[in-house]
Structure 1
């Protein structure tokens, strides 16, 4: 089954190009069910078409990428596809709750894989963007507050796995994994899973 995506970008030609690219890659793994140049329409379109994920540009007139993330992320994962490698913008998008951040010069195959991964609950970070995510990270000693089970889950969260994948890898119930992730958020004082994964990937040097 194809992943249903909404694409938001203020350039109509780019929208058309992305649609053509995604239709021809990986056997149509991603189906673009709607596009818009108006970020304020993203959530309504996504709900109307039963989308699995929203893909948005970062810098747009009117409702920009941050606005799209804030509106959609409580309901759907949002992948930010941008040309901007800017520290302040990256931090703002992370704080807003985006599930992925990649630059527009990625290959069609990488883009398709990123969209599918984010739709399935994964975390996708272009390495060129991830280095801007935080100016400071927790020290290894902070992980001493974690139990052995929490540490095992933490390593997989840092690698971008979703709860189902972690449950399978650790032979745990998905509800147990959810509880461990909640404990990690509380103990490491991370405001959301994206922030948590970024912190952990840095402190664990993954």
Structure 2
């Protein structure tokens, strides 16, 4: 579902009463409805659109012109971190747009990767309303924003760098299936995700391992102890 609120865009200025235009991207309608109800109690926060999928978000962002996208990482039942790819596409295509990740997932790797993909902040869904509103306003001012647990995860990641490539849990699962000789279609069947999503993960794996083929990825991962 795609929904817009038709209002003329207002530039946000941290020192003025300008509005912060927000697009909600979450696959659960009840979550979007709850967020809209909470956020629009604030005089300067305006929800200008909603999207339930990555495709809807990409199609709609240019029409509703949000300042901030409030983005969940899980946008389908088959992929827990589809929002990471969407974050990268949104920030690459719309330079003035800021993304604040709002998710139930909290892993050191996810927080770091979200920032690498262009997110300005990261908060978990059980954050209180005051902190969420504060984070949205901070991101609109082009400041970073983290709740206390996300900040701790980021600090832990910085203080404990890993020697092995920083692969997500889903990428490690795909890598394991690659090592077993499965095709993209077969991997998609095993993980209940599309073949296109599998290809996306494989490309990320090869990029992170600095290799140019699936075979090299498996060999390098084996040497690194990843599989």
User: Shorter-normalised TM-score: what interval?
Assistant: 0.5 to 0.7
Higher relative contact order (CA 8 A, sep 6+): 1
Counterpart residue number, 2:87: 69
Counterpart residue number, 2:206: none
**Structure 2 stretches lacking a partner, 5+ long:** 1-17, 161-227
**Aligned mate of 1:58, from 63, 70, 73:** 73
TM-score (norm 1): 0.60
Counterpart residue number, 2:106: 85
Counterpart residue number, 2:122: 101
Residue deviations 1:146-176, cap 9 Å, x none?
A: xxxxxxxxxxxxxxxxxxxxxxxxxxxxxxx
Deviation, 1:117, is 1.4
Q: Which has the larger radius of gyration?
A: 2
TM-score (norm 2): 0.55
* Root-mean-square deviation over aligned CA pairs: 2.0
Cα distance in 2, alignment partners of residues 31 and 13 from structure 1: 18
Counterpart residue number, 2:136: 115
Counterpart residue number, 2:63: 48
8 Å Cα contact 2:112/2:157 also seen in 1: no
Counterpart residue number, 1:21: 38
Deviates more, 1:58-67 or 1:13-22: 58-67
Cα distance in 1, alignment partners of residues 60 and 141 from structure 2: 20
**Structure 1 stretches lacking a partner, 5+ long:** 139-206
Counterpart residue number, 2:25: 8
Deviation, 1:60, is 2.0
Cα distance in 2, alignment partners of residues 33 and 47 from structure 1: 12
3-state DSSP class of the match of 1:131? helix
3-state DSSP class of the match of 1:54? strand
Deviation, 1:43, is 3.5
8 Å Cα contact 1:6/1:45 also seen in 2: no
8 Å Cα contact 1:33/1:49 also seen in 2: yes
- How many matched pairs? 136
Residue deviations 1:99-158, cap 9 Å, x none?
A: 0101111222221221121112110012211222253449xxxxxxxxxxxxxxxxxxxx
8 Å Cα contact 1:42/1:54 also seen in 2: no
